[in-house]
Amino acid sequence: MKVMNIIEAVNDALHLEMERNDKVVVFGEDVGGFGGVFRATKGLTDRFGEPRCFNTPIVEQGIIGFAMGLAMNGFKPCPEIQFADYIFPAYDQIVNEVAKSRFRSGNSFTAGMVIRTPYGGGIHGGCYHSQSPEAQFLHTPGIKVVIPSDPYEAKGLLLASLRTDDPILFLEPKRIYRASKCEVPLDDYEIPLGQAQVAREGKDLTLIGWGAQHHQNLEAAKKAEAMGIDVEVLNLRTLNPLDIDTIIASIKKTGKCVVSQEAPKTMGFAAEISALIMEKAFLHLEAPVFRCCGFDTPFANAHEHEYMPDSPRVIKAIKDTYDY
Amino acid sequence: MKVMNIIEAVNDALHLEMERNDKVVVFGEDVGGFGGVFRATKGLTDRFGEPRCFNTPIVEQGIIGFAMGLAMNGFKPCPEIQFADYIFPAYDQIVNEVAKSRFRSGNSFTAGMVIRTPYGGGIHGGCYHSQSPEAQFLHTPGIKVVIPSDPYEAKGLLLASLRTDDPILFLEPKRIYRASKCEVPLDDYEIPLGQAQVAREGKDLTLIGWGAQHHQNLEAAKKAEAMGIDVEVLNLRTLNPLDIDTIIASIKKTGKCVVSQEAPKTMGFAAEISALIMEKAFLHLEAPVFRCCGFDTPFANAHEHEYMPDSPRVIKAIKDTYDY
Amino acid sequence: MKFEIETISYLNEDGEIRDGYQKTISDDLLLQAYKIMLQTKRIDERMVTLQRQSIVTFAMPSRGEEASTVVSAAALKPQDWHFYQYREQGAIFMKGFTIQEYCDHMLLNVDDTAKGRQMSNHFGKKELNAVTVSSTLATQIPQAAGCAYAQKLRGEDAVTMCYFAEGAASEGDFHAGLNMAAVTKAPVIFYCRNNHYAISTPSKDQFAGDGIAPRGIGYGMKTYRIDAMDAFAIYDTVQEAREYCAAGNGPVLIEAMAYRIGPHSTADDPSAYRTDDEVAKWEKLCPIERVKKYLIKNNLWSEEQDLEFYNALIEEIEESIAIAKAKPKPGIDSMFNEVYSDIPWNLQEQYDFLKEFTKEESH
Amino acid sequence: MKFEIETISYLNEDGEIRDGYQKTISDDLLLQAYKIMLQTKRIDERMVTLQRQSIVTFAMPSRGEEASTVVSAAALKPQDWHFYQYREQGAIFMKGFTIQEYCDHMLLNVDDTAKGRQMSNHFGKKELNAVTVSSTLATQIPQAAGCAYAQKLRGEDAVTMCYFAEGAASEGDFHAGLNMAAVTKAPVIFYCRNNHYAISTPSKDQFAGDGIAPRGIGYGMKTYRIDAMDAFAIYDTVQEAREYCAAGNGPVLIEAMAYRIGPHSTADDPSAYRTDDEVAKWEKLCPIERVKKYLIKNNLWSEEQDLEFYNALIEEIEESIAIAKAKPKPGIDSMFNEVYSDIPWNLQEQYDFLKEFTKEESH
Ligand SMILES: Cc1ncc(C[n+]2csc(CCOP(=O)(O)OP(=O)(O)O)c2C)c(N)n1
Ligand SMILES: Cc1ncc(C[n+]2csc(CCOP(=O)(O)OP(=O)(O)O)c2C)c(N)n1
Ligand SMILES: [Mg+2]
Ligand SMILES: [Mg+2]
């Protein structure tokens, strides 16, 4: 066990897996010797050589296409996109190519890879260093989406992802890259994909979140307790496949639900969760599922504090839903 | 009045607006002299000259970027993307640039344009000539999404779109490009954006759809009548901005709802509609909102018939929801 | 600030070779390639007819580019990988895809290597290292660079052949793929079929420079331009390029000049955008005829052998079509499996629903 | 298959011009550009300090590229449009963006032309035809082509200047923009600042060819390479390019060779990836010093005037910073308006909520 932050945990997982599996190749903008702008790949080139950890030209569509070719030919690429906001030039390669490759080739050419990218607001990043694009990938069959919320999860989920034969979008909450710290085993371990964590048990209301937002949710749940509301907090960890059983079991217990996400409300993943809960637990619902989200605007730098659905806003959502 | 199909109505609207507004410029792959692979732009180069209607190289990211430059400098571009499946190379230009331009430049540089593209399944198009990507654009603030379902709407909505100072994604239901025919005024007229059509009044259940799927819905509603279920059918026409008032008014009347879309179920626009209905009309709901959708798979050519949420599947959804 | 890229050409329309040219392709391989060219032409013709009869839904004939695809593939080795655009049926035939496999694919039956999931004309086969076609243009270009980098990492004697055409070369992915291959020194041959049209769009609307080849120089890449109606120019250049790549020198770009004599696809009517005269001019340059003339002139083949071979070919094709027609289409399970490595709950739910629903409906 | 692109250079480090060179920039304009270069350098330094003091959140100094940005802009006309990458504050200063406007933007106050919505260093101003910076690399390149096409459609005497750097030139949008401009013969100058680094990534990992210029030839585009530490080479080349474009000949590519002497941004520590020696070598080539030496040698300026000007400049900058600091940040309405041309119901709902919530919370 060692206290690590998320960056260190990611770095540790990459070292471990590159050692174990010589098919893992890491690359991206500034990812080589320098170790990436957040330094998540630091030391990999020194340890494993430039052929296995290297800088690419600045061309996200090329990075992902290149990764797909490596994957088809037996390697396990782990490309980094420098910021999630810059994943969109690669959107075609991801949703049309990587995601569909296994299916459309009749299981002949698979594209298992882990695309790592820092996401989310709160670092004075304005319109283009703040976005949370998970929803834009969840409509596309064929790609799994994983989001850790702390260093322990970052390492365990990254190792599990690197051992899954599917394309995985691995979104890292950059706002808490260094702020989130906890004990992390130095050994190998996996956190299975598709299983949500019941981070806090409660009987009055279910609060669902993922990534950095999960910490706002935990804080809100603690404050809600003082107001006499016993909140169950779910930390999804994997958005696709979704752990529907854990969600529905919780709703059946509490009858009330708030889903909280940083991304804009409209067509965010909270919408899907809300719709699923209605479909599968309608008769248990005592109030409408409440979506506490970012606003339907681009991310304004000067107002990033106001933009974020932070714990005070989550608390209000909890209260309003509880009192419905 | 003249009986037209959708292609003819689009073509008519483009002729009319290019005549009226010399700032309208039309371009895309094969769009020039040849008139596009579906011939929607036929005759425009002859009539208005190559500078205003021309072929581009095959580069969707370039087509949209180029359109944005034209728009910033005072023109009204109407680029065509040959198939909606090929809009993804332009995804970055659309969601990061076109959609955010007005906002991030402090209202200095706007990017009003109408991106026309044929979408949807049912023409033996397999994975890449069948997709319905509306949901992938509806999470992005700044871009409006319009989908006509017949020639009358195609002309009226296209004219209204070309006169709106916002970026608009105009999705044309290619399966019924020629099959859908109706009387279309030869004169200028607009169908206002943001207003849904109550295509059929009913009191038992609200059935919501758009584009080609709307015709499946109408057929299903007709058959449901025979089974004693009186279905109100809403044709959205504009997905963003959404006509929430019409939807909620209908739900308050019927208490039951099916939303039907061709795209995969997970994170399709039906999820947002479902979540909104729960938020705004929870106490009126007598059954969960049912989503009758495409499956969460890529679009398999050999099984496109089975894939489509056609009227028999919509009828089953209506029955199940009615009997809930 | 000017430079010329010459067009390599050895064999003319009359089957005669340029003075002093020494053929490198073996007689056997040349004859085999000739037969595969004939096969490609014949199958293309049949598929167009079958489309008119609604037996296949879509086809993309490669008339005019049979040498370009077949002979380029003949210059490669079995362990080499192919990435296609779509008009390279000739290349996959040369690589070993059988007529029956092709027909099963075109008719999207249960034995289609792509399990009926894609449109016709989207061939591919894992065992051949022949990557399944995807409709999205140019996406295979950076993929080919990555695939070649895998070969380099393994230190194999293998290269990646990446086919695409001059229209696709306008996509951002072209730039991405060529530059990344150049920087990583990946052993990939970028083989650009410049056939003068992209659906209705002539080259003059596609680019303003001197074709695609000069772009290779911009990436610091070894570059050739060849007459792709000439089997010998194709063979020698691809062989040389293969050696260069396999020796660790990095990628090569070849611009293969030909012409799309047929329609873009069975959905296209080229008379709307070009003249018969233009097409006829190119017909006369037929790449298959050139080889036939050469073979006969050099006593490697005769008209009688040709006729005999052709009749047997026709028979085999018709038989394969008949067999393909008789096979059922894939089951609905193939809609839901292989989306992922496992079947998540939502797909299981949807599959169960569809099975049940199909049962109900058929009552 | 080889070609050379020479680097145009007239003015050396000692402020001396090449034999026979005839200066074309007027003395007045040269002096004005010199002053703006000094201004750019000084403001850059101040912004880095202000970032350390948490007064601005982000800055991107342009040390080493002051001539490249300022003098290239000096060769253009007011009606011309500029598209920037981000390190071209010198160009927008030359175009007329005031020190106060720049400070208001950097501090993201209520008078920021971008209304505080973007990061700092994302300047722009509609009235100047100076398009607001966007962080996404290379997206401005096809946009510039379209903007120039609009100028061509109008038949204006105006061109579009498109700045970007060698790293961004790897993006697909670079290929898209240059090819589309070439095909449409749009009057755009693609001005590539090759400063040898993209954050930590040296050019050798960015491309394998001879820089960016040869790519221009590939697009059939008029192409230049210039020493961008040399004000005269920049001015003459951009002027010539402007004339060429404005005359309807189509686009031009200029590769402007310089060096990023400072860090990538205030978030970067270049000591992790390059040596001080390397930087020092380039420091000595300072583009501002060269002009100063030339001016003084030719009696167009003196050390006294220089000192006087510089002191006044410092004062103006400090005043502007103080004023900018005193201004409030934009109101929360600026989060919700101008997303669209109108305010749809969902934004109105959210705005109403936030107003109410902010009130509640402040109790
Ligand atoms: C990304 C993308 N955009 C557009 C299309 C539609 N499309 C299919 S083929 C084609 C023309 C391709 O021309 P070229 O690359 O020259 O190949 P050729 O048909 O001449 O062999 C177009 C535009 C597509 N398949 N993918
Ligand atoms: C699409 C995109 N990808 C990545 C980034 C992150 N990024 C910002 S600047 C930069 C380096 C750019 O280098 P270059 O183009 O050479 O410009 P310079 O900083 O040298 O002026 C990178 C990778 C980005 N802003 N946009
Ligand atoms: Mg072509
Ligand atoms: Mg640089």
Nearest-by-CA chain B residue for D159: B73
From chain C, pick out residues whose CB is under 8 angstroms from the CB of B266: 346
For residues A40 and A138, membership in a common domain is answered with yes
How high is the pLDDT of residue C3? 61
AA letter at D251: P
A124: domain CATH number?
Answer: 3.40.50.970
For residues B146 and B13, membership in a common domain is answered with yes
Choosing from B119, B151, B184, the residue where a domain stops is B184
Q: What is the three-class DSSP state of C317?
A: helix
Q: For D131-173, what is each residue's pLDDT tens digit?
A: 999 999 999 999 999 999 999 999 999 999 999 999 999 999 9
Nearest chain B CA: its distance from C332 CA (Å): 7
Largest CA distance in chain D: 76
CB contact under 8 A, C180 and A57: yes
**Residue D3's pLDDT band (cuts 50, 70, 90):** low
B292: domain CATH number?
Answer: 3.40.50.920
Number of H helices, E strands in chain C: 14, 9
From chain D, pick out residues whose CB is under 8 angstroms from the CB of C3: 1-3, 217
For residues B170 and B305, membership in a common domain is answered with no
What number does the ligand 1 atom closest to the CA of C165 have?
15
- Among partner residues B91, B135, B282, which is closest to A88 by beta-carbon distance? B91
In this structure, is residue B191 part of a structural domain? no
Expressed in angstroms and rounded, the spacing between residue C165 Cα and the centre of ligand 3 is 5
- Among partner residues D126, D339, D345, which is closest to B103 by beta-carbon distance? D339
Torsion sign over Cα B32, B34, B38, B39 = positive
CB distance B63 to B114 below 8 Å = no
Residues 66..125 of D with a Cβ closer than 8 Å to B: which? 81, 112-115, 117-118, 122, 124-125
In this structure, is residue B20 part of a structural domain? yes
Q: Give the residue numbers of A marked as catalytic.
A: 60, 129
CB contact under 8 A, D217 and C209: yes
Largest CA distance in chain C: 76
In this structure, is residue A108 part of a structural domain? yes
Q: For A252-296, what is each residue's pLDDT tens digit?
A: 999 999 999 999 999 999 999 999 999 999 999 999 999 999 999
In this structure, is residue B276 part of a structural domain? yes
In this structure, is residue A80 part of a structural domain? yes
How high is the pLDDT of residue B270? 98
From C316, C333, C327, C325, select the one nearest C111 (Cα to Cα): C327
In this structure, is residue B192 part of a structural domain? no
Q: What is the mean pLDDT of residues D249-253?
A: 98
C-alpha to C-alpha distance for C93 and C35, rounded to whole angstroms: 10
Touching subunits for chain B (3+ Cβ pairs under 8 A): A, C, D
AA letter at B55: N
Domain of residue A234: give its range.
197-322
Q: What angle do CA C144, A169, C184 make, to 5 degrees?
A: 30
Expressed in angstroms and rounded, the spacing between residue D201 Cα and the centre of ligand 4 is 8
Q: Does B276 touch chain D (CB under 8 A)?
A: no
C-alpha to C-alpha distance for B309 and B317, rounded to whole angstroms: 10
Choosing from A153, A184, A215, the residue where a domain stops is A184
| Chain mean pLDDT for chain D | 97
Alpha helices in chain A (DSSP H): 6-20, 44-48, 60-72, 91-92, 101-104, 151-162, 213-226, 244-254, 269-281, 304-307, 311-322
Number of domains chain B contains:
2
For residues A100 and A245, membership in a common domain is answered with no
From chain A, pick out residues whose CB is under 8 angstroms from the CB of B97: none
- Among partner residues A61, A100, A240, which is closest to B298 by beta-carbon distance? A100
> Of C118, C273, C351, which to mutate for an interface test with B (greatest number of B Cβ within 10 Å)?
C118
Nearest chain D CA: its distance from C162 CA (Å): 18
In this structure, is residue A35 part of a structural domain? yes
Nearest CA residue ID for atom 21, ligand 1: C165
In this structure, is residue A305 part of a structural domain? yes
For residues B9 and B135, membership in a common domain is answered with yes
Tens digit of each residue's pLDDT, chain A (324 residues): 999 999 999 999 999 999 999 999 999 999 999 999 999 999 999 999 999 999 999 999 999 999 999 999 999 999 999 999 999 999 999 999 999 999 999 999 999 999 999 999 999 999 999 999 999 999 999 999 999 999 999 999 999 999 999 999 999 999 999 999 999 999 999 999 999 999 999 999 999 999 999 999 999 999 999 999 999 999 999 999 999 999 999 999 999 999 999 999 999 999 999 999 999 999 999 999 999 999 999 999 999 999 999 999 999 999 999 999
How high is the pLDDT of residue C1? 45
For residues B238 and B282, membership in a common domain is answered with yes
For residues B138 and B219, membership in a common domain is answered with no
- Residue A309 burial by Cβ neighbours in a 10 Å radius (0-12, 13-18, 19+): buried
Of B8, B29, B60, B262, which is the active-site residue?
B60
C-alpha to C-alpha distance for D321 and A310, rounded to whole angstroms: 32
> Of A63, A91, A123, A295, which to mutate for an interface test with D (greatest number of D Cβ within 10 Å)?
A295
**Residue C362's pLDDT band (cuts 50, 70, 90):** confident
Q: For B116-169, what is each residue's pLDDT tens digit?
A: 999 999 999 999 999 999 999 999 999 999 999 999 999 999 999 999 999 999
Q: Does B316 touch chain C (CB under 8 A)?
A: yes
What number does the ligand 2 atom closest to the CA of D168 have?
15
For residues B152 and B210, membership in a common domain is answered with no
C-alpha to C-alpha distance for B222 and B317, rounded to whole angstroms: 14
Confidence check: pLDDT of D1 > 70: no
Touching subunits for chain C (3+ Cβ pairs under 8 A): A, B, D
Q: For B226-274, what is each residue's pLDDT tens digit?
A: 999 999 999 999 999 999 999 999 999 999 999 999 999 999 999 999 9
For residues B12 and B156, membership in a common domain is answered with yes
- Residue A181 burial by Cβ neighbours in a 10 Å radius (0-12, 13-18, 19+): middle
How high is the pLDDT of residue A123? 94
- Among partner residues A55, A62, A128, which is closest to D205 by beta-carbon distance? A55
CB contact under 8 A, B69 and D145: yes
Q: How many C-beta atoms surround the C-beta of residue A186 within 10 A?
A: 11
Residues 234..263 of A with a Cβ closer than 8 Å to C: which? 240-242, 244
Confidence check: pLDDT of C2 > 70: no
Choosing from A184, A219, A244, the residue where a domain stops is A184
Nearest chain C CA: its distance from D179 CA (Å): 6
Report DSSP state, residue C329: P
Nearest CA residue ID for atom 14, ligand 1: C167
For residues A173 and A287, membership in a common domain is answered with no
Nearest-by-CA chain C residue for A66: C146
Expressed in angstroms and rounded, the spacing between residue C194 Cα and the centre of ligand 3 is 6
For residues A56 and A169, membership in a common domain is answered with yes
Q: What angle do CA A163, B128, C52 make, to 5 degrees?
A: 135
Query: Which residues, other chains included, contact A284 with Cβ-Cβ below 8 Å and sequence gap of 6+?
Result: A251, A252, A255
Confidence check: pLDDT of C4 > 90: no
Expressed in angstroms and rounded, the spacing between residue D279 Cα and the centre of ligand 4 is 14
Confidence check: pLDDT of B99 > 80: yes
Expressed in angstroms and rounded, the spacing between residue A78 Cα and the centre of ligand 4 is 25
How high is the pLDDT of residue D361? 85
Number of H helices, E strands in chain A: 11, 14
Of B29, B80, B97, B129, which is the active-site residue?
B129
DSSP string, A117-165: EEE-S-SS-GGGS----GGGGTTSTT-EEE---SHHHHHHHHHHHHTSS
**Residue B98's pLDDT band (cuts 50, 70, 90):** very high
Nearest CA residue ID for atom 6, ligand 2: A82
Expressed in angstroms and rounded, the spacing between residue C199 Cα and the centre of ligand 3 is 7
C-alpha to C-alpha distance for A32 and A48, rounded to whole angstroms: 11
Q: What is the mean pLDDT of residues C318-338?
A: 97
Q: What is the three-class DSSP state of D251?
A: coil
CB contact under 8 A, D346 and A265: yes
For residues B213 and B174, membership in a common domain is answered with no
Torsion sign over Cα C265, C267, C270, C271 = positive
CB contact under 8 A, C272 and B61: no
Largest CA distance in chain B: 59
Torsion sign over Cα D25, D30, D36, D37 = positive
To 10 degrees, what angle do helices B151-162 and B6-20 make? 30
Q: What is the mean pLDDT of residues B46-50?
A: 98
CB contact under 8 A, B141 and D339: yes
Nearest CA residue ID for atom 7, ligand 1: C137
How high is the pLDDT of residue D363? 72
Nearest chain B CA: its distance from A135 CA (Å): 7
Pairing of strands D81-83, B167-173: unpaired
- Among partner residues D146, D179, D338, which is closest to B102 by beta-carbon distance? D338
